[in-house]
A and B are shown apart, each in its own frame.
Chain A
Amino acid sequence: MATKQLAASPVKKVAGNLSKYGIYIAFVVMCVFFSIFNPLFLTPGNIINIVRQVSFNAILAMGMTMVIITGGIDLSVGSVLALAAVITASFVKTANPLLPVPVALLIGLLIGAACGLFNGYVITKGKLAPFIVTMVMMTMARGAAQLFTKGRPVTGLLESFDFLGAGFILRIPVPIYILALVVIISHFILSCTKTGRYIYAVGGNEQAAAASGIKVRRVKLVVYTFSGVMSALVGIILTARLNSASPVLGNGYELDAIAATVIGGASMDGGKGKVIGTLVGALIIGTISNGLDILNVSAYWQQIIKGIIILVAVLLDKKD
């Protein structure tokens, strides 16, 4: 086919790039805005503070991103997080430490993995909608956490355990290192490995993926298990940070994780999504809260402003 480049006008080009980097631009504009109104916003202390607060949602959102790329959804993250948190915490109570901290952590992560695997198994084997299956897991895991603790928070945990959430390495909080590690691993999986390709292929066209010799079932098991492990990881860090694990921990977190993923450019239809986009999505959500808190905006207005900023960010990112 004969091709001829249209002399693209500079205005059009800028507009094109604007939509391409929509959320990044939205993020920068937001930061500039907050720092103009309060110079403390862009101080190293506050930046570290924001990233630490964001790390919980961002880690959850990494698991969510993979699930959403396959065209699924995981509503159970908040509940699985609580279940893993209370069980892990019960092993590392100062008064009665039942297990060494590393073993307790491993068990916590395994609980997350088991819940995720269950999700994946039922979705693929029962050919059920991920929405339903993970919603069932959402209520079951929450109930299990309540049952396990009889509704009371587990408190008084070993100090060596608290390090994961409250500790510092080189004056940077430990959760930030964990977030960095998770982002690198997720990015590596999605863009450098066979599994990553298959995740996109399954979300892009599941039937074609199956006809291309991809084991669709295995891919789905992997993403839901990964999401479960991420939930458990967040449960553990949050517990360590608060020195307490409550069975109501993480209530509603699934919505923040989904929001971060979608703001980050993932499509709920599957096939599309990026780790870095999701990270920025989580940063946007966290930065709004932080910036509005710092400006001491009234709680009523905060909710309205949050909604507007997220809407604008998503609109800016919309292609075409």
Chain B
Amino acid sequence: MAYLQLQGISKFFHGVRALNQVSVEIERGEIHVLIGENGAGKSTLMKIVAGLYQQDEGTILLDGQEVRFGGPLDAIQHHISMIHQELMPIPYLTVAENIFLGREPLNKAGLLDKKKLIAQAEELFQMIGIDIDPRTEMRRLSVAQIQLVEIAKAVSFNSQVLIMDEPTSAISDKEIEKLYKLIFKLKADGVAIVFISHKLDEIFRVADKITVLRDGDFIGTKPASELDKDTLISMMIGRDLTNIYYKEPVPIGEPVLEVRNLTKAGLFEDISFTLHQNEILGIAGLMGAGRTELVETIFGMRSADSGQILIKGKEVSIKCPTDAQKNGLALIPEDRKKLGLDLKDSTGFNISLCDLNEFNRCGMIDKKTEAARVDDMIREMNVKVTSRKSPVVSLSGGNQQKVVLAKWLMTAPDILIMDEPTRGIDIGAKTEIYKLITKLAQQGKSVIMVSSELPEVIGMSDRVLVLCAGHLTGELTGEQINQQDIMRCATNQVASVH
């Protein structure tokens, strides 16, 4: 009998079904990957196991005993720990203090025994092979280090089930290796590990078994060895997938945007390029190459030290996003929660926010016309939402991204700058966004697409600019747009190509 058995679990949020009769079995000493598009119910299912939510139907058996958790503390006491996607350490406490928060060792006088605290943490780190000084303040650690500390904390609770929600989404490859090492060690010690991930390569590397969820339904559990990528993708999206990049060639038109010698000290230097009508211009580069900073400067969110921007041949002065908007620009930001959306308000509020002038009638907003346009947009963009009044925070990542796109498309821009347009969203929504980009190019718009996903850049771009350490190190067209050439330019330290 499996160590952790989930039987017929269902969960509803505000009457909407998030999980439907899901049954999964997890063994000790196995890495069980949970996969599915965003909104498939993976996180919800695991939050039930970790005691953050309570299921509306179904039972959980732990080691053959039925359990029901009132809260996360209950789950921890049953040796189940979850490491969340968004980590929540207490920044000004030390590593050791974070790990033993709420169960600090005391001395005879009832005061904190700091020496013992540090000793306990050191012992723990040695046991599982982590090399971090427990006296360091939490805020000084990298995301990856925080993750390791969280895992150490789970181990300190003697966790037999360890749930990790996309642990590798924000850390570097080198750090990922360290994480894997630790996970494999825990697996060898007999811990049951549940791993939620989007990254297909990673999944095949770590998984013993894979369970696929889709729209809250259980699709299947299979040993990783019996699956391949294509099968997995078709299980996830419910159909076969041939090409997700719906790129269709369109004749390129006149120049619409010219950037000349744009410089911002410390971020990028002497960047010049031209964007044409109907064109999709990819901007590639490694983290920290200055891509986001470049497009934010073009959009007026940062000020440049020198350089010119020309739109349709005329020089323009863009000092703030309002100026950019007036010149027909739109920017879909990289961090949609921070810069793209007002998460406290409704979907409709967000969609019409940039284009309220259109509904302005003698100082008043014509709410009827506004509602009609917003509803049109929701339909057109295929945003999955009950009503325009629904809070935008309740939408999945992909749908939130569609809302940001809808918001800017309302302003009928000529030039769309998209910074990582498909980050953190599921394959279904990705496909829709690729289709949309292609359609926009066909309609005569121009698109700048900043992306770290090479397949996306290669699949969608007519032309690719490559940035390296703030310099333009490559401009690639046609056959040159391939993984090797892009990477060669992206790692080049000297601005030589252009």
Contact = CB atoms under 8 A, between A and B. Distances in A.
**Touching chains A and B, CB distance < 8 Å:** yes
Contacts of A38: none
Contacts of B215: 1-2
A204 B16 contact: no
A3 B386 contact: yes
Interface string B331-355: 1010000111111110001001110
A96 interface: no
A2 B301 contact: no
A109 to B, nearest CB: 21
A5 interface: yes
Contacts of B344: 200, 203-205, 270-272
Contacts, number: 95
Interface string A260-283: 000000000011100000000000
Interface in B218-249: none
Interface string A239-268: 000000000000000000000000000000
Interface string A173-215: 0000000000000001000111001001101110111111111
Contacts of A194: 356-357, 360, 365
15 contacts: A3-B16, A3-B17, A194-B356, A194-B357, A194-B360, A201-B349, A205-B344, A207-B338, A208-B342, A209-B342, A211-B301, A212-B353, A213-B322, A213-B325, A214-B322
B331 A204 contact: no
A169 interface: no
Interface residues of A, number: 29
A186 to B, nearest CB: 15
Interface of B: 12, 15-17, 20, 39, 56, 215-216, 299, 301, 320-322, 324-325, 331, 333, 338-345, 349, 352-354, 356-357, 360, 363-365, 367, 384, 386, 407
Nearest to A195: B363
A95 interface: no
Contact of B363 (A193, A205, A207, A272): A193
Nearest to B56: A6
Prevailing SS type, chain A contact patch: loop
A212 B299 CA distance: 10
Contacts of A209: 342, 353
Given A204-B345, A212-B354, A193 B365 contact: yes
A221 to B, nearest CB: 15
A185 to B, nearest CB: 12
B342 A210 contact: no
Interface string A1-28: 1111110100000000000000000000
A208 B321 contact: no
Nearest to B359: A194
A2 B342 contact: no
Contacts of B349: 197, 200-201
Nearest to B366: A192
A86 B365 CA distance: 39
B321 A1 contact: no
